[in-house]
Amino acid sequence: MPRVARLDAPGVVHHVIFRGIERKKIFRTSADKEWFIQRLGQFLVASNTSCYAWALMDNHAHLLLRTGDVGLATLMRRLLTGYSGYFNRKYNRHGQLFQNRYKSIICQEDIYLKELVRYIHLNPLRAGIVRTMKQLDKYAYAGHSALIGEKAYTWQQTGYVVNMFGKKVQMARKQYSQFIAQGIEHGRRPELVGGGLIRSMGGWDAVKKIRLQGQDRVKSDVRILGDSDFVEQVLSRAEETCRRGYELKRRGYDIDKIERRVAEVMGLPAEEVRKKGRDRRRVEARSLAIYWAVHELGVSGTALAERYGLTQPAIVFACRRGEQTAAELKCKLLD
């Protein structure tokens, strides 16, 4: 059976799961996990990607991410390729480290975000790495400890999750902890690790009920966890992005052509777009080129940093500024 193409809609929440080949360990020591965490944090910040939950076990890991300036596929390729290289060098091994492709499921935020945070952060407890909630509170390799204030990871979006449980931090953290503890009795929750009609609707009983009500045209997709309307929206956006990508390829767009288009929009000579300096028009032009390169062509922040002589954080900032410039000028890459 052919593999289903991934969906990579920008700005949506993805539940990402990756495992070691043949379920073997991908983290043998705490140092391995620390190396991975450091690299993860760097890529999340550089790509403006939000992380709401995460958990590292010995042979697999979970991430709950909202994509930012770089698509999920690009982010995960850099993250896992880099870690594989580190792991193979350290342990003098060769070959594949991860089992097949990573799994990613787009999730409907208002329905599933809290449940997924709980599901992911209970993984160390379900796996027997820790045995009590007190031990989970101290576990350094999952985002739960940061949400209750025990640890601090600058790249984890703790405030967004904590605020869902209350306006006052201490009370919200208490409510969050109680919510997590209540999930222990729910078990493994297989409905949260895949999309499709049966899982999204809560099992066959719910599906039968919907059909009895005459709602036969409920949209579903194994790559999406959400209700019918949400599935339709995501698929529509993904189709539009795909069409746009083909059109850009057909017209021969690359970074050079983007810079020529920026020069046309800004009324500057093309060579001015790449020049260094703090001249406002030049900075705006460079930022617009970076924004279009990232969002329209999927050019990596590393490649753009090298091209323009900027740091990774500066590329992220330029991308945001470029988005503002595009909105102010009401301009698009394709007319």
pLDDT in tens, 249-290: 677 778 888 888 888 888 888 888 888 777 888 889 999 988
Please give the average per-residue pLDDT across 294-312, as a whole number: 80
**Cα–Cα nearest to 66, from 149, 157, 141:** 157
Is the pTM of the predicted complex or chain greater than 0.85? Answer: no
**Cα–Cα nearest to 220, from 250, 191, 251:** 191
φ, ψ at 283 (rounded to 5°): -65, -45
- Contact between 26 and 35 under an 8 Å Cβ cutoff? The reply is no
Question: What average pLDDT does the chain have?
Answer: 80
- Residue-level pLDDT at 4: 47
Of the pLDDT bands very low, low, confident and very high (cuts 50, 70, 90), residue 131 is very high
CB-based contacts of 166, cutoff 8 Å, min separation 6: 172, 175
What does the pLDDT look like over 139-192, one tens digit per residue? 999 999 999 999 999 999 999 999 999 989 999 999 999 999 999 887 565 556
One-letter amino acid of 1:
M
Q: How far is CA 63 from the centre of its chain?
A: 8
Distance from C-alpha of 292 to C-alpha of 297, rounded to nearest angstrom: 7
What does the pLDDT look like over 314-334, one tens digit per residue? 887 888 888 888 888 888 887
φ, ψ at 257 (rounded to 5°): -70, -35
Burial 68-85 (b: 16+ CB within 10 A, else e): bbbbbbbbbebbbebbbe
The tally of CA atoms less than 13 A away on the side-chain side of residue 108 is 21
**Cα–Cα nearest to 188, from 143, 123, 137:** 123
Instruction: Give the E-state strand segments of the chain in sequence order.
Output: 13-19, 50-56, 60-66, 103-107, 224-225
What does the pLDDT look like over 199-223, one tens digit per residue? 444 443 443 444 444 444 444 445 5
Strands ordered across the beta sheet of 224-225: 50-56, 60-66, 13-19, 103-107, 224-225
Distance from C-alpha of 60 to C-alpha of 33, rounded to nearest angstrom: 11
Distance from C-alpha of 172 to C-alpha of 159, rounded to nearest angstrom: 10
Class of domain 251-329: mainly alpha
What does the pLDDT look like over 30-78, one tens digit per residue? 999 999 999 999 999 888 899 999 999 999 999 999 988 778 888 898 8
> Hey, where are the domains in the chain?
13-192, 197-245, 251-329
Class of domain 13-192: alpha beta
